């Protein structure tokens, strides 16, 4: 079972990333749940959501000890670093997060996601970069399911962005291997 916690600030596409993962999981006939944070929490600038992907029925609609944390900025890293499950994974956007972890029993994967996105000409696809890293590191869903889901979720007038999204995902994946 994957319990993913995705966190960043509003505008980094955290919610979209979570929805795509849940969609992709559903396409693979997994049990899935997407849990957004909501309300005034979001006005402070940070946004986070959780996604559960499982082969079995999902019970509790809450992720308190994620198996994977994707931290897009320093406040998210500070807030959630300690919550990650033992032997879990922290994927962090090293373009913005320069701190080292204080945790000993987690795996750290550093990705200069903002820089990679900038290099691809669009800072807003930082979420796709990290999505690529996430699926390469965890194998939680297949890249094909992600692309198929993206197509369904993005409104047709955004479909021109699909190739760029795909490139961001694939570039990030190749960095892991």
Instruction: Please report, as ranges, the residues that interact with another protein according to CB under 8 A.
Output: 19, 22-23, 26, 32-36, 38-40, 43-44, 58-62, 64
In the bound state with another protein, the residue whose beta carbon lies nearer, of 149 and 172, is 149
In the bound state with another protein, the residue whose beta carbon lies nearer, of 34 and 77, is 34
**To 10 degrees, what angle do helices 14-27 and 126-138 make?**
40
**Could you tell me the CA-to-CA distances from 15 to 76, 85, 119, 165 in Å, in that order?**
14, 22, 23, 16
- The Cα 5–Cα 25 span in angstroms is 15
- The Cα 66–Cα 60 span in angstroms is 13
In the bound state with another protein, the residue whose beta carbon lies nearer, of 2 and 109, is 2
Q: Nearest approach, Cβ of 68 to another protein (angstroms)?
A: 19
Q: Nearest approach, Cβ of 111 to another protein (angstroms)?
A: 26
CA 120 to chain centre: 19
Q: Nearest approach, Cβ of 52 to another protein (angstroms)?
A: 10
Q: Nearest approach, Cβ of 63 to another protein (angstroms)?
A: 10
In the bound state with another protein, the residue whose beta carbon lies nearer, of 155 and 163, is 155
Q: Nearest approach, Cβ of 158 to another protein (angstroms)?
A: 16
**Closest listed residue to residue 137, CA positions, set 98, 92, 95, 103:** 92
Which three-class secondary structure state does DSSP give residue 151?
helix
What would the two tokens of residue 147 be? 């692309």
Q: State the CB neighbour count (10 A cutoff) for residue 54.
A: 15
In the bound state with another protein, the residue whose beta carbon lies nearer, of 10 and 119, is 10
């Amino acid at each position: 079972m994957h319990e993913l916690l995705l966190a960043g600030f509003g505008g980094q596409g955290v919610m979209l990333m979570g929805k795509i993962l849940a969609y992709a999981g559903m396409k693979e006939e997994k049990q899935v749940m997407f849990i957004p944070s909501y309300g005034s929490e979001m006005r402070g600038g940070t946004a986070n959501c959780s996604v559960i992907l499982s082969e079995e029925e999902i019970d509790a609609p809450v992720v308190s000890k994620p198996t994977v944390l994707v931290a897009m900025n320093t406040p998210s890293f500070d807030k959630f670093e300690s919550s990650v499950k033992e032997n879990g994974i922290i994927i962090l956007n090293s373009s913005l997060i320069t701190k080292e972890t204080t945790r000993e029993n987690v795996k750290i994967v550093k990705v200069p996601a903002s820089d990679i996105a900038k290099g691809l000409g669009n800072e807003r696809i930082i979420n796709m970069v990290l999505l690529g890293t996430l699926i390469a590191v965890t194998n939680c869903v297949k890249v094909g399911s992600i692309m198929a889901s993206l197509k369904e979720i993005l409104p047709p007038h955004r479909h021109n962005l699909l190739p760029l999204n795909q490139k961001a995902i694939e570039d990030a994946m190749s960095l892991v291997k």
